[in-house]
Amino acid sequence: MPEVRPERTGWRDEGLSRRHRRWGWDCPAVDLDFLFLEYDHGKASAIVEYKNEHAAPQYASHPTYQAMIDLGNRAGIPVIACRYSDDFTKWIVTPLNTEAKKHVPQRVILDEVGWVSLLYKIRGYDLPQSVVDGINIEL
Protein backbone atom coordinates (compact mmCIF):
# COMPACT_ATOMS: atom_id res chain seq x y z
CA MET A 1 0.00 0.00 0.00
CA PRO A 2 1.40 3.48 -0.86
CA GLU A 3 2.44 5.69 2.01
CA VAL A 4 0.21 8.63 2.88
CA ARG A 5 1.94 11.94 2.20
CA PRO A 6 2.87 13.92 5.35
CA GLU A 7 1.61 17.42 6.14
CA ARG A 8 3.67 19.83 4.01
CA THR A 9 3.15 23.33 5.35
CA GLY A 10 2.65 23.03 9.11
CA TRP A 11 0.29 26.02 9.25
CA ARG A 12 -2.92 24.04 9.22
CA ASP A 13 -4.16 22.02 12.20
CA GLU A 14 -1.25 19.65 11.90
CA GLY A 15 -2.51 17.41 14.71
CA LEU A 16 -5.75 16.59 12.90
CA SER A 17 -3.91 16.31 9.59
CA ARG A 18 -1.44 13.76 11.05
CA ARG A 19 -4.28 11.88 12.75
CA HIS A 20 -6.33 11.66 9.55
CA ARG A 21 -3.31 10.33 7.64
CA ARG A 22 -3.18 7.41 10.10
CA TRP A 23 -6.59 6.36 8.84
CA GLY A 24 -4.92 5.08 5.68
CA TRP A 25 -4.61 5.42 1.96
CA ASP A 26 -8.22 4.45 1.27
CA CYS A 27 -9.62 7.30 3.37
CA PRO A 28 -8.41 10.34 1.40
CA ALA A 29 -9.23 13.91 2.32
CA VAL A 30 -7.74 17.28 1.53
CA ASP A 31 -7.39 20.53 3.41
CA LEU A 32 -8.09 22.88 0.52
CA ASP A 33 -6.12 26.10 0.39
CA PHE A 34 -8.95 28.54 0.04
CA LEU A 35 -12.24 26.96 -0.91
CA PHE A 36 -15.20 29.32 -1.02
CA LEU A 37 -18.82 28.29 -1.08
CA GLU A 38 -20.48 31.21 -2.81
CA TYR A 39 -24.13 31.54 -1.81
CA ASP A 40 -27.21 33.71 -2.03
CA HIS A 41 -30.05 33.81 0.50
CA GLY A 42 -28.81 30.60 2.16
CA LYS A 43 -28.55 28.64 -1.09
CA ALA A 44 -25.24 27.52 -2.58
CA SER A 45 -24.47 29.22 -5.89
CA ALA A 46 -20.89 28.11 -6.70
CA ILE A 47 -17.77 26.40 -5.38
CA VAL A 48 -14.58 28.38 -6.02
CA GLU A 49 -11.08 27.16 -5.24
CA TYR A 50 -8.89 30.25 -5.01
CA LYS A 51 -5.12 30.06 -5.49
CA ASN A 52 -2.55 32.82 -5.48
CA GLU A 53 -0.66 33.22 -8.74
CA HIS A 54 2.48 31.80 -7.07
CA ALA A 55 0.78 28.60 -5.86
CA ALA A 56 1.39 25.23 -7.48
CA PRO A 57 -0.63 24.62 -10.65
CA GLN A 58 -4.19 23.31 -10.44
CA TYR A 59 -5.15 20.19 -12.40
CA ALA A 60 -8.82 19.36 -12.91
CA SER A 61 -7.84 15.70 -13.30
CA HIS A 62 -6.48 15.53 -9.72
CA PRO A 63 -8.72 13.54 -7.33
CA THR A 64 -9.14 16.62 -5.12
CA TYR A 65 -10.64 18.60 -7.99
CA GLN A 66 -12.63 15.61 -9.19
CA ALA A 67 -14.24 15.46 -5.73
CA MET A 68 -15.08 19.18 -5.85
CA ILE A 69 -16.52 18.75 -9.35
CA ASP A 70 -18.56 15.78 -8.16
CA LEU A 71 -19.93 17.85 -5.28
CA GLY A 72 -20.81 20.73 -7.59
CA ASN A 73 -22.45 18.39 -10.08
CA ARG A 74 -24.54 16.79 -7.35
CA ALA A 75 -25.63 20.25 -6.19
CA GLY A 76 -26.14 21.53 -9.73
CA ILE A 77 -23.82 24.51 -9.15
CA PRO A 78 -20.70 25.83 -10.92
CA VAL A 79 -17.25 24.72 -9.80
CA ILE A 80 -14.49 27.17 -10.67
CA ALA A 81 -10.72 27.33 -10.16
CA CYS A 82 -9.57 30.93 -9.79
CA ARG A 83 -5.99 32.16 -9.60
CA TYR A 84 -5.48 35.76 -8.53
CA SER A 85 -2.49 38.08 -8.73
CA ASP A 86 -0.84 39.53 -5.62
CA ASP A 87 -2.26 42.96 -6.41
CA PHE A 88 -5.74 41.57 -7.30
CA THR A 89 -5.63 43.07 -10.79
CA LYS A 90 -5.70 39.71 -12.61
CA TRP A 91 -8.09 36.79 -12.05
CA ILE A 92 -7.58 33.64 -14.13
CA VAL A 93 -10.91 31.84 -14.12
CA THR A 94 -11.19 28.19 -15.17
CA PRO A 95 -14.60 26.51 -15.32
CA LEU A 96 -14.42 22.95 -14.00
CA ASN A 97 -17.89 21.59 -14.65
CA THR A 98 -20.75 22.01 -17.10
CA GLU A 99 -22.60 24.42 -14.81
CA ALA A 100 -19.55 26.70 -14.67
CA LYS A 101 -19.20 26.58 -18.46
CA LYS A 102 -22.70 28.04 -18.76
CA HIS A 103 -21.31 31.24 -17.21
CA VAL A 104 -17.73 31.16 -18.49
CA PRO A 105 -17.30 28.74 -21.42
CA GLN A 106 -13.50 28.55 -21.23
CA ARG A 107 -10.53 29.75 -19.22
CA VAL A 108 -10.47 33.54 -19.17
CA ILE A 109 -8.40 36.30 -17.61
CA LEU A 110 -10.46 39.02 -15.96
CA ASP A 111 -9.81 42.16 -13.99
CA GLU A 112 -11.33 42.39 -10.51
CA VAL A 113 -14.50 44.09 -11.70
CA GLY A 114 -14.95 41.36 -14.32
CA TRP A 115 -14.48 38.59 -11.73
CA VAL A 116 -16.88 40.14 -9.23
CA SER A 117 -19.37 40.79 -12.04
CA LEU A 118 -19.22 37.08 -12.89
CA LEU A 119 -19.92 36.17 -9.25
CA TYR A 120 -22.99 38.42 -9.33
CA LYS A 121 -24.08 36.97 -12.69
CA ILE A 122 -23.90 33.43 -11.28
CA ARG A 123 -26.30 34.58 -8.55
CA GLY A 124 -28.62 36.12 -11.17
CA TYR A 125 -27.82 39.75 -10.41
CA ASP A 126 -26.12 42.68 -12.10
CA LEU A 127 -23.03 44.09 -10.43
CA PRO A 128 -24.08 47.19 -8.45
CA GLN A 129 -22.28 50.41 -9.35
CA SER A 130 -21.53 50.93 -5.64
CA VAL A 131 -19.45 47.73 -5.65
CA VAL A 132 -17.61 48.83 -8.81
CA ASP A 133 -16.92 52.19 -7.16
CA GLY A 134 -15.61 50.45 -4.03
CA ILE A 135 -13.28 48.23 -6.06
CA ASN A 136 -12.01 51.19 -8.07
CA ILE A 137 -11.19 53.15 -4.91
CA GLU A 138 -8.63 50.45 -4.08
CA LEU A 139 -7.04 50.69 -7.54
**CA separation for the pair 119, 80 (Å, rounded):** 11
Q: Is residue 90 part of a domain?
A: yes
Q: How many domains does the chain have?
A: 1
Q: Given this model, what pLDDT does residue 77 score?
A: 98
Q: Is residue 74 part of a domain?
A: yes
Q: Is residue 111 part of a domain?
A: yes
**CA separation for the pair 75, 45 (Å, rounded):** 9
Q: Is residue 72 part of a domain?
A: yes
CB-side neighbour CA atoms (13 Å) of 33: 17
Q: Is residue 7 part of a domain?
A: no
Q: Which residue has the higher pLDDT, 115 or 57?
A: 115
Per DSSP bridges, beta strands 91-95 and 108-110 are: antiparallel
Q: Given this model, what pLDDT does residue 119 score?
A: 96
pLDDT grade for 1, boundaries at 50, 70 and 90: very low
Report the CATH number that the domain containing residue 68 is assigned in CATH: 3.40.1350
Residues spanned by the domain of 55:
31-138
How confident is the model over 34-84, as pLDDT tens digits?
788 999 999 999 999 998 999 888 889 999 899 999 999 999 999 999 999
Q: Is residue 69 part of a domain?
A: yes
What is the value of pTM for the model shown?
Answer: 0.82
Q: Given this model, what pLDDT does residue 9 score?
A: 55
Q: Is residue 19 part of a domain?
A: no
For residue 8, pLDDT beyond 60: no
